[in-house]
Structure 1
Amino acid sequence: MPRIPATSSADLPDRAALLTRSGLEFIEDMIAGRLPPPPIGETLGFAAVEATRGGTVFAGAARLGAMNPMGGVHGGWYGAILDSCMGCAVMTELARGEIYTTLDFSVNITRALPEGTPVRAVGEVQHRGRSTAVARGELRGRDDDRLYATGTTTCLVMRPG
């Protein structure tokens, strides 16, 4: 399981730090600890662990704080880790000076995920155009490779300034 360090808003990179790197360089710098990880990973118990052009892998496990009133992992946790791996997969395709935002994402949960189960979320870009990108993701058990959820996303690619 990756160690997920605490991050404060003062630690987060500013827009200049983002725009001076390609998306892949930015994700690689986060994984290597040269940039702080986003606070959502600390909050929800997951982090990026691998990145290649067009793909990322996140690892983590849902904790007690992600449980719904019935004692199951809340669907939003599945959505958050899949949105992160798919969006960051899109980010690995970005050139310096480009940013992205999620336009739409969909998650299909295939089975209940027990609290504390180590998982890997794999995101892969399916299409990168001038202004949009499409990616898919899978959430699988780290130890048994069981499929827990799938997802798709469409992202808007922008060139600010």
Structure 2
Amino acid sequence: MSARPTPPANRSRTIHYQVPEADKTRLFERTGLEQLRAMAEGRIAAPPISSHIGLEFVAVTDGDVVMTAQPDESHYNPIGSVHGGFFATVLDSVCGCAVHSTLPAGVGYTSLEIKVSFLRPITAETGAVTAHGWVTRRGKSVAFADAEIRDAEGRVLATASSTCLIIYPGGAVPDSRPGPANQ
């Protein structure tokens, strides 16, 4: 009879996060840049997803955002490296926040699509990673952003390009085309 392998040690992880603002209208009283800077400074709660991946702001300017994230074993896939969803979440966050930083008060956004290229694996030993996202073009109804994740040595681990829909109050998109409706 063969010996049974010793099962791996169990580990646990407790996640602490602040309850998101229940009154969504209060979130949109500020410009996107003001909202993100308030989060970066801890004056308003970061989204709960940030707690799951250790996502923190490093820098927030108009159309440009830098964040760090902390991968660990709880993010692993079956082959022993960080799941692609971790990469995608970090890249979607930094692209979306770069777009958000360009928006006036009362205007929101949502991701329409994101394309992620995985260039190198991430493991718990990789340590904190840095994500940089920047707006490449912003129109009235759609914005485009690019992003990358780098390790502490500056190696690019993943890249992304994203398209975001800009959402106006009541769903209206400002129209500056000449015509009877705009005269």
Could you tell me the TM-score, scaled by structure 2's length? 0.81
Equivalenced residues, count: 155
- Structure 1 contact 46–60 (Cα < 8 Å) conserved: yes
| Superposed counterparts of 1:48-87, under 5 Å | 48-87=57-96
Q: Residue 125 of structure 1 aligns with which residue?
A: 135
Runs (4 or more) in structure 1 with deviation over 3 Å come to none
1:99 corresponds to 2:71: no
Could you say if the C-alpha distance between residues 94 and 13 of structure 1 is closer, same or farther in structure 2, counting changes exceeding 3 Å?
A: farther
Q: Distance in 1 between matches of 2:35 and 2:48?
A: 16
Q: Is the partner of 1:102 in helix, strand or coil?
A: strand
Q: Residue 33 of structure 1 aligns with which residue?
A: 42
Any stretches of 5+ residues in structure 1 without a counterpart?
none
Q: Residue 10 of structure 2 aligns with which residue?
A: none
Shift of 1:150: 0.2
RMSD: 1.4
Q: Distance in 2 between matches of 1:131 and 1:65?
A: 37
Any stretches of 5+ residues in structure 2 without a counterpart?
1-14, 171-183
Shift of 1:17: 1.9
- Structure 2 contact 110–165 (Cα < 8 Å) conserved: yes
Q: Distance in 2 between matches of 1:75 and 1:84?
A: 14
1:140 corresponds to 2:133: no
Q: Which amino acid aligns with 1:114?
A: T
Q: Distance in 2 between matches of 1:135 and 1:145?
A: 21
Q: Distance in 2 between matches of 1:98 and 1:57?
A: 22
Percent identity over the alignment is 37
Higher relative contact order (CA 8 A, sep 6+): 1
Q: Distance in 2 between matches of 1:6 and 1:56?
A: 24
Shift of 1:69: 1.1
Shift of 1:64: 1.5
- Structure 1 contact 21–96 (Cα < 8 Å) conserved: yes
Q: Which amino acid aligns with 2:29?
A: T
- Structure 2 contact 72–123 (Cα < 8 Å) conserved: no
Q: Distance in 1 between matches of 2:104 and 2:55?
A: 26
Q: Distance in 1 between matches of 2:38 and 2:167?
A: 21
Shift of 1:14: 2.7
